Amino acid sequence: MKNSIFFYLRDSSGTIWEDYLQHPFVQSVGNGSLSENSFKYYLIQDYLFLIQFSRAYALAAYKSETLEDMRSAVAAMSNIIDFEIQLHIKYCSSWGLTLDDLSGKCEDIATTAYTRFVIECGHRGDLLDLMTALAPCVVGYAEIGRKLAESPTLDQKLNPFKSWIEMYSGEEYQKIAASAIHQLQTLFEKRGGPNRYNSLSSIFNQATRLEIEFWEMAWKQQE
C-alpha cells in the first residue's frame, strides 16, 4: 500500500502533512496538557463537523458510478449518523457537554471553511476528487492516533485524553483508514492518471491546511 496514491500525495505535500500531525493541539493531547476549555471547544465543533461530513458521504453516494462505491458511501454515512455521532455525544457527556451544548452552538469559521470545501470538491468534481478531500481527515486521524499511542511521553494513567487516543489508534479505526486508502487507490486507477495528479495534490494539500486550521481554531481557546 505504500506505493498508493494516498502516500504519494502525503509525501509530496512538503511540510503541510507534518504541520498537521505535529500541531501544538495534537502534541498537547498527547502529553495531556491541553486545556479543558480548548478540548471542549474542539468537541463541539467536531460534532458540527460530523454532521457536514455525513452530507459529504451522501454526495459520494450520488457521485458513485458503481454499486460497490455507492454501498461504501452509504455505509460510511450510516456509520457517522448511527454510530459515530452517537458515540461522540456519549463521549462529550463525559466532559460535561449535553446535546443542547453541542447542537446549540454555531459553526466556527474554520469548521464551515473545511466542510464546505470538501462538499464543493464533490459538487464540482467526481468521486475521486471528493475522496481525496476526505482523505486527510479519515487517514490523518488514524496516523495521529497511532503516533500518540506509541509516544514515550504518553502517560496512559494520567492523560485525560487517553480514551480519545485509544479510539483513533484502535484496530477498528485503523481498518477504516486502511479501507479509505484502498478505495482512493481504486478510484485513482479507474479515473486518475498523470494528468490528474496536480489537481488531486492541490485538493489534498488544501484539505490538510484546513485540518491545521481546525486544530488552530481549538488551540486558540487555551486559557
Mind listing the pLDDT tens digit for each residue in 163-177?
999 999 999 999 999
Q: What is the pLDDT of residue 154?
A: 65
pLDDT at 155 over 70: no
How many angstroms from the chain centroid is the CA of residue 136?
A: 6
> Quick one: average pLDDT of 15-26?
97
Q: What is the pLDDT of residues 85-143, one digit of tens each?
A: 999 999 999 999 999 999 989 999 999 999 999 999 999 999 999 999 999 999 999 99
What's the confidence (pLDDT) of residue 71? Answer: 95
| Rounded CA separation 148/159 (Å) | 11
Q: What's the CA gap between 46 and 97, in Å, rounded? A: 13
Q: Which three cell numbers stand for residue 94?
A: 463525559
Position 2 scores a pLDDT of: 66
CA distance 178 to 192: 20
pLDDT > 90 in the chain, percent: 89
What is the CATH superfamily name and number for domain 5-219?
Heme oxygenase-like (1.20.910.10)
Euclidean distance between CA atoms 130 and 56, whole angstroms:
8
**Average pLDDT across the chain, whole number:** 93
* Domain ranges within the chain, ordered by starting residue: 5-219
